[in-house]
Structure formats: C-alpha cells, structure tokens
Amino acid sequence: MSRYRPWLLSGLLIGCITFTVMGQNPPAPQRTSPAVPQRTSPLARLSGLQEDWNPQSPGPTGKPADSGAQAFLTQAKAMLADGRPAEAKEALKTAIRLEPMNIEGWNLYDRAVEAEYLLRAREEKVSPVIERDLKPVFAIDRVESYTEYNSLYVVGELRNVSDAMRQRIELSAELFDENKQELRRESGRLRLKDRGLFPSESSLFEIEFPNPPPGVKSYRVRVTNYE
C-alpha cells in the first residue's frame, strides 16, 4: 500500500490543478449577428417616428405603392405648358411634400420658379408701373377774377413748393358754363418769368380774356409747363 501512495498523491494534485484552471476560465461569449438597420422615411425622421419605409415597396396588388405625387406632377407639367407657372409651383409643392426625394419634382419646381420670374419681368416691360410718394411742385393760392374794359382777368399767386428752382413756368386758365362745358382757354406767365422761382418763393400771375364769352360760371387755373 505504501508503494502506491506517491501515485495517488500525484493524481490528486494533478486533478486539483486541472479543476482550478478550468474554473478560472470564463465561458466564451456567444456571438450574435449584427442587427440590420431599418430604413426610415425622411418625413418620419422629421417627426421623430421610426418606421420601415421603402418608396418602391409593393402594395397589395404587387405594384409599387402610389403616394399621389405623380398626379400633381402631371398637373404641373400641363400648367407650365399653358404658361401658368404660379399655379404649377403650388402643385409641385404638394408633390414634393408627398415625395421629398423625387428628383423630377425638384427639377420641375426650378423650372416653374424661373418661368414665373421671366413672365413677371416681361409684364413689367409691357406695362411698367411707377409708384412714388406724392410731392407737389407748385401751389396756387389766392385766385381771383375781375373785369375791366371788356376783358376778364384771372389773377393769383403761384408758390414753388419743390426743392429745386423752377424756370419758364407757364399757366393756363379755362372758362366753363353752368354745365361745366369749356367755353374758352387762355395762357399766361409769371411776372418773374425771366428769373424763375426759387424753393418756397412765390410770384403773382395774371391771365387776360379779352371779350369773354357769355354764360361764364366758373374757371380753372393750372400749370401747363415748367423747367
């Protein structure tokens, strides 16, 4: 029995060492396949919704699902052909909202914007519109009339209310009957006709009607020319 004791001790020692080493090694981690990222629609990204999206995913009939954008694209093409770029822009805005990644929709929208700009520029050349603040040049004050030696005189005062000097100022006076029908017209000049009027300066004027027509009920004075 004593001769087998060394062998028994050696076997126990080897078994303890093997058990200890195996207990210290952690189990190998289990490998898992990487998750495939899901595609998300652009509108879902903006709204924070996560959903599977595929613009060409088949519908119940096996054909790609129709978002309705194609109908608006067709309308926009017809409007551009008819020369209605503003209406085409609105249709294209709807189509782009339905399919933000539709390249054809964006190209058509650029065409509509350019066509609208050219149409507006063409209309402004044909029918130009000028808009500015109202700023009178002259003011006619204290207009009166009197008769002398078979002549009717219309007299008054003209004032330069502009910011610049005005020269060669001409006026006209018109006579009207009770029905506002013009009976006669005469022209006249300022007494300072050779020098003109500086800003805020005034000058008297006098317009003569020799042998005025009968039936005169009213008159009107206005500036007809100046430099």
The reported pLDDT for the residue numbered 180 is: 86
32/46 Cα distance (integer angstroms): 32
**Spatial CA neighbour of 152 closest among 215, 199, 106, 110:** 215
Q: 69-126 adopts what CATH topology?
A: 1.25.40
Instruction: Look up the pTM and report it.
Output: 0.41
* Listed range (1-10, 32-41, 125-134) with the worst mean pLDDT: 32-41
Provide CB contacts within 8 A for 69, sequence distance 6+: 94, 95, 96, 98, 99, 102, 105
**φ, ψ of residue 23 in degrees (nearest 5):** -70, -25
In this predicted model, what pLDDT tens digit does every residue of 47-83 receive, in sequence order?
444 444 444 455 454 445 567 888 888 888 888 888 8
- List the chain domain ranges: 69-126, 138-225
Q: Is the dihedral of CA 116, 121, 127, 130 positive or negative?
A: positive
- What tens digit of pLDDT does each residue of 114-167 get? 888 888 777 766 656 666 656 788 888 788 888 888 888 888 888 888 888 888
Structure confidence at residue 47 (pLDDT) = 43
Is domain 138-225 given the CATH code 1.10.1840.10 in the classification?
no
